[in-house]
Structure 1
Amino acid sequence: MTIMTIHLHRLIGFLLLLVGVGVEAQTSHSSPVASPSLATTMNSLLPVPMPDFHRIEEAVKEHLRAAHAEVISLQADPEITGVVLGEAYGRLGQSYHAHRLDASAEVCYRNAERLLPKDIRWPYLSGYLHQQRVELADAVGDYRRTLALHADHAQAQLRLAQVLLGLDRLDDAEALLKKVSGVPEFQGVAAFQLGKLMLRKGRHMEAVRLLTRAYEAHPDASAIHYPLAMAYRGQGNIQAARHHLKQRGEVEPTIPDPVVQALSALSSGKRTHQYHAIRAVWRRQFDLAAREYEAILALDPSDISAWVSLGRCRYLSDDPDGASQAFRIVLQQKPDHDKANYFLGRLLWEQGHKDAAVSHFLTTLKTDPGHGGAHFFLAESLMQKGEFQQAAHHFGKVYEKLPEDLISRQRESAALLAAGAAMHKKAWQRITEALVIHPDDAVLRRQLARLLTTSPDAQARDGKRGLTLAIGLFDEHNTIEHAELVAMAYAELGQFQQAIAYQQATLDTALQYYGPYGEPALLERLKTNLDTYSAEQPYRDRGN
């Protein structure tokens, strides 16, 4: 062996240490054994495409390029062994996979498998790569080859079952999951998959049993709640279904898998941390996402976007001080940054510092005049100050950008109603427009019923329609507020005996529920309105 060859072997060994962990950490099931017909195998190796590195930072890019070049050099060495070259291809594939350079990773895994046909790592990781890419048919073949080498490989059985479920091959998936269920370490994960399978088959009792077992094994796996809720609903247990629906999330039980977990150890650079952060946010693991953004900032403290994302994740993980610190760092560098101003404003608003919050919302709107969130909180601030017409204007800006937004339409209507009779016709128009989009919304219907029965503006008033709306609301939800609306409508139509009957019943209910000294403002209002109707006056004549 030449000095150059020895140097190359040592260099590739050093590079392999840089890009990953040792073979022993990858698998305990097999040892790398090269194919005896190395020359034939070498001729069948596929050329590895050079990845598109444009989104990867320079240090990582240069490292991967060097590792790629060394593998090519090794392949050209006439004295190379299949084991050394197979390991080199496999490790390079893992590095590409960890950085989501999938096309290059796939070819590396194929070459590694050809050179080391008895090593389960390479078909297994190829299957995992195809599963991530939702290339399910390819993943099936990869996992089948893995199981041909090691029939009891639990991770491959579990992941193959997941793929088969995605292909609607339920019976094949069930057989695999039942095998894995006997392995204590994997019982919870297998129960989760089996429970979902039983739900798809309509076997709700078994689904509840299995998903409950999965939840007991993985109480932090919020993704269990939705199928468990559906299974309870299938049994007719609506209360249990609602309980679990409220807790639904995206975090699935984790498969114990050192081979896959080792990929994380290979990843480095901002792009990889960004990928993991986005996945963590999607799974609502905001603490984990925050740590990924912290890793990005350790590499590049000037990354404004990462500071904003870190602040948002800290906010969502109930760390207001950490969130505030992140947003203030952004504003030190870019005082007019719209997102940092908005989120810092949100924090200050929730802490009761509303004037300071409004200042940040106004800055947000200078940079982004259509920012719905800033308009909404500015409108709420104006409502509290009694500036109702201005508040209505800003609520309108919210649904101007988000036409389906219900809350901003409700709040705009409330502001217009509070602005007085001069704005009631406009309120009627806005409520009517909103009901076209949200015809069943009780708040909008209640606002319209009150407007039609109590407005001092005769053009906005329509007692008959108001009564119809009020009775419909009362029939749906027998509440004090709806009973009051019915009484108001009857009084507007001059049917004072009916108004008195509803108002008296409402007062009696409130006294029974709250007692004579509870909710004094409510009781006083009910008594005052009863006196008004007893004097045969409509509600609007009270001057309200």
Structure 2
Amino acid sequence: MTKPIRLRDGALIIALLAPLATGLHAQTATPTLIPVPEVDLRGVDEAVRDQIDQQRGLLEEALARGTPTGAAAEQLGLLFGDAGQLYLVYDLLPAARACLTNAAELQPRNFRWRYLLGSAAEHLGELEEAVEAYDLARTLRPDDAATAIRLGRVHLELGRYEEARGHYQRALALPGSTAAAHFGLGRVAFETDDPTTALQHFRTALREQPRADSLHYHIALAHRALGDDAAMRAAMELRGEATVAFADPIAAEIKESATGIGAQLLLGRVALAANAFETAEERFREAVRDYPESAAAKRSLATALEGMGRRAEAAMWYQEALNLSPNDVGLLFQTGLLYNNEGRYQAAAQRLRRAVEIEPSFGPAWVELARSLGETDDHLEAAEALTRALELAPDDRNLRFHRAGNYRLGGRRELALREFESLLADFGFDREIVLLLGRIEQELGRPASAARRFEQLIEAGADPPLLSQAHFELGNIRTQQERYEEAIPLYQRAIAANPTLKEGYFNLGTALGRLGQFTEAALAARRALELDPGDSRARAAEVTALLLAGEDARVRLMLEQTLALPDQGGSGFFALLLAEVLAASEDDSVRDGAMALNLATDLFQRAQTPAHGAAVALAYAETGDFEQAVAWQQRLIENLERAGATEALPDARKRLAAYQAGRPVRAPWRR
């Protein structure tokens, strides 16, 4: 539901957990400012603490004068901006977010604050918000190279290749960004299946910046796409970790502002941004050694370890950082996010709840909390968390979609139905939502309404997976209505659109069997079994259909082979069926009374059910011991009468009459 935080190429600053300014506007007389959260400084070294205390004192002094206007507002905007950058350098993210948001509110035409907010959103993975902020920054400085490169990069991440290409083309003409622009254009070309053009751009970027040896990796990928394995291997030999740089004055200024541990951490972050994880780890471990009480150092080390896939170590260092700064919302969020990605949802929820308690306006934390709650089946609580996230982003379609899904899974189907229908009304026809609406109608016991939804989706056309599901669900409705002739072609179309749809084959076999087409039903079950050899339901469906088709010899062989396999579930069913086949097959070559009796009595000792008792009676009759067959069948009837199983009594009494007449029962499964 939300993307994990990750640092991207060329970044010199870390992620801000920041909402974006809503647009360029005239300075109002009463600007709306958000409170700056208290900063937990227990894990911050003394020199940094002094800097922060000094900056906070200036802010508090300015705010004490009342709501600023005019020149005073401009001055306060600068103070907030400086404080935001300071917090940013030292990894105090919630405070940085609040300060930079206020700076943008007080100085809406200050390019720097817009740019930093865009960078924050980009690093957080909130790419739509990043586009919005960078666009506002671009309005203020149309020819800024760094903004053009970043806009291209974000659009590329979003899969908007034409928009990305446009920004990179614009950056080609701007000083300091030529190599990065060619690199971006190469990535766009590669993603749009044009490796020849991609290779040209990557080579041009390398000529512009020979030290950017990470380009060799992209050149290798282009060669591989072109089928030139020799060139690919040669390029791979040359690949390194130095990324393509571009002119980014603001990031450079922030880098220069760091001192002490801030400078150490920044060196590590530069390496991290270049995906040089081992170098970053080394720098951060040095910082932890030099500043053992620094939460920022331990957090940064955890981030590097997480990027290297060493999640267990990362979790340990995140917790070490939290021990020093237990109220650091950013740390709580990152730890919760890591635990979510590891599948440790309860641990994630604990930390994310704490994060939103401290900062209720932290939207990403609400979203991740909803994820952890949903994964532990607390769907209504997950929906409530998404409601809180939607209060902060009311137009977020994705959040509304997932809230509706949690309502459904939490049993609030009518509410889910209204939510999904509202999404259709607000955003237009959506095939996935129509499919879900049909399923909800089914769950509410409204087959006619559900069928109309699926028919609407089929008529509109869809990608094969959705089209397959629509045909499959409509087939299920027709099967439930006992309209098997209509269900069969629907299942066949579902399978044609998705040949790996195991349940489609299984349900097709069911419909065919209901029409007496047992050979075809067995074939459908076989297809399901080929897709999942361990599915005992499909195996049972196949042997049952073959038995009803009169393939007794084949069924006996299949059952014996199945029972020789390691138990994958269902072995009790197969053993009982084999006992019945051995005792009651119409094929003389298949029956074996002695074997049937041994198997049936052994099974009865393990499970004394009516079905097992009936099998023992069948076997005794096949061996010619009708006295025992009658005795077993009479006990069975007495048990059925005591249990009130009246529907089973007519057949049981019919078998008893046969045994009393000295006649074995044949093929009872065909009645």
* TM range, smaller chain: 0.3 to 0.5
Task: Name the TM-score, length of structure 2 as normaliser.
Answer: 0.37
